Amino acid sequence: MKIFRGSGPQSPTPAQASPRLTRRSSGLGELTRVWDAGENLCILDLGSTSANNIRFFTGRGHKIYSEDLLVASTDASLLTKDEEGNPVLDSRKFLADNLVYPAAHFDTILCWNLPDYLDESLVKPVVGRLWSVLKPGGMLLAFFHTRDAGPDSPCFRFHIVGPDVLEMQRIVLRRETRRGPTGAIHTAVSDGFQLQRVFNNRHIENLFRDFASIKFFLARDNVREVLVVR
């Protein structure tokens, strides 16, 4: 597993608008078949608040829960130190404030690219909590970069626009505008969320070892889609 461990975002402000890219998702296609066959399902979306996603699920008669865990992980009060004095995030406090749901509550959880960008100290505790709030037989979808991804890989938010089609929108947390020496206006964009690691297949299997089954889909854009079943 490649680890990049960059510094997190400095200003946890909501995402701003940026152009959208379209990609087909095999994992989403499989889940859509489940959603179309089910009634009054509970879905947890762990990405940025998306009007598209809310409309997609409520239009099918399902309940959608929205919780942006990446933004939640930027809470300054989470900063603490481990036994060796290294800065880490307090996973207990994080789980006391986030992902607070009854056990076996959700039919589907959409992680998107969360594990790749979440702070190291939170990944395993969060996956453990997700297992507990997922119903037996429930499914979780997550995206992982392949080994070709570098630390500057942009972080995207995902909007469902079709049964197996996603729009990806680069997350922009900070946009700074300055006037240069010639008087021209320059705009610098800060992504804020840095790719923390690249998992290999074995590490992904280990991360989801408490789940009953795991399925991999490899896409052309060097993203592995992973569908796990509790």
Nearer CB in complex with another protein: 72/219 = 72
CB of 10 to another protein, least distance (A): 18
Closer residue to another protein in complex, CB, 4/65: 65
Nearest approach in angstroms of CB 114 to another protein is: 15
User: Nearest approach, Cβ of 42 to another protein (angstroms)?
Assistant: 8
Least CB distance to another protein at residue 58 (A)? 4
* C-beta closer to another protein: residue 64 or 139: 64
Q: Which residues bind another protein (CB under 8 A)?
A: 14-17, 49, 51, 54, 58, 63-68, 71-72
Cβ-based nearer residue to another protein, 110 or 227: 110
Q: Token digits for 148?
A: 């070709």
